[in-house]
Amino acid sequence: MDYSLGCPPPPHLIGLYHKKIATKKKSKANAEEENLNPEIDKPKENRYFRFLKKNSLLIGIILGQLIIIIALASSITTNYYPIKNLRENPSISSSEYLFGIDISHYQGKINWTEMQTSHHPIEYIFIRSTMGKNGTDIHFEDNWKNAKAHNYIRGAYHYYRPNENSTLQFENYKSIVKLNKGDFVPILDIEKESRFGRENLRTGVLNWLQLAEEEYGVKPMIYTGLKFYQHILKGHVDDYPLWIAAYSGKHRVKHERWTFHQFTEKAIVKGISTTVDGNDYNGTLDDLKTMLKK
């Protein structure tokens, strides 16, 4: 029937119509209430996630500081281990060779009186003096003076920075190291390649060695690692005594013309609070004395 023509609909249809309208209004109201209240029918956030979200700035700052601390700690890490209540290991220095050690600020302040009671037969001590064009080992002066006072043959070595001017580096060494009669010849420690290339590196190394020979009147010695020597320096510095670092036994250097062999970094010596490098000299004590300043 067409109710649009003016005929009123029956009462039961009017009731259904009003019920339908009420249902629609209620649904709309519920939807609006749900939009206003996000807690309705929505999963609750994990409390840990809420904590992270609320404190994200603080957590970021803490993580940043931890990264900086780790980076700084990594930059100063060395292979020398602090020792406490450990006995000396003189078995590593019991051989046909003359034994000695090398030291730097990494070993801290040394008790020289106690070191003289060591069971290691220490004949000589190589001491780091300078680094690059302007660096000075903070313990050099004390170590240099005490080595002489306690009757050790002493030598001073310069750590070569391959990207810095070699003449300026020698000037730094010369300004700090005053060699006296009985001191060992100057020593150049070269361990890293230069960003300017190998030829430039070799030129700088030879320049430093020549300046040292002119200044002190003795032929200097080179310290380097076995692989560095074999791949970069071998054939270019053959006129100079070689102090070579190679661990795990003499077989590693048996084909090289070494004068000194740094064979360990784990010697335990009385009076020194960390492990220390141990070295062998390939000759007699009289031979060693020929390498000293007259």
What is the pLDDT, as a whole number, of residue 276? 96
C-alpha 23, offset from chain centre: 76
Does the pLDDT at position 102 exceed 50?
yes
φ, ψ of residue 208 to 5 degrees: the values are: -60, -45
Mean pLDDT for 172-188 is 97
Q: Quick one: pLDDT band at residue 62, thresholds 50, 70, 90? A: confident
**Exposure b/e, 92-124, CB count within 10 A at least 16 = b:** ebeeebbbbbbbbebbeebebeebeebebebbb
Number of continuous H segments (helices) and E segments (strands) in the chain: 9, 9
C-alpha 218, offset from chain centre: 33
| CATH code matching the domain that covers 90-289, chosen among 3.20.20.80, 3.40.50.150, 3.90.45.10, 3.30.200.20 | 3.20.20.80
What is the pLDDT, as a whole number, of residue 4? 46
Taking residue 294's Cβ as centre, other Cβ atoms within 10 Å add up to 8
Q: What is the mean pLDDT of the chain?
A: 84
Mean pLDDT for 101-113 is 96
Mean pLDDT for 192-215 is 96
- Integer Cα distance of 275 and 160 in angstroms: 23
Mean pLDDT for 79-107 is 85
Q: Quick one: pLDDT band at residue 36, thresholds 50, 70, 90? A: very low
What is the pLDDT, as a whole number, of residue 77? 42
Among the listed ranges 36-40, 115-119, 174-178, which one has the minimum average pLDDT value?
A: 36-40
Does the pLDDT at position 135 exceed 60?
yes
What is the pLDDT, as a whole number, of residue 248? 83
Entry pTM: 0.72
The ranges assigned to domains in the chain are: 11-75, 90-289
Mean pLDDT for 213-219 is 96
Mean pLDDT for 250-279 is 94
What percent of the chain has a predicted confidence (pLDDT) above 90? 69
pLDDT tens string 10-30: 555 555 555 555 555 555 555
Does the pLDDT at position 126 exceed 90?
yes
Q: Which helix (H) or strand (E) holds 31?
A: helix 11-36
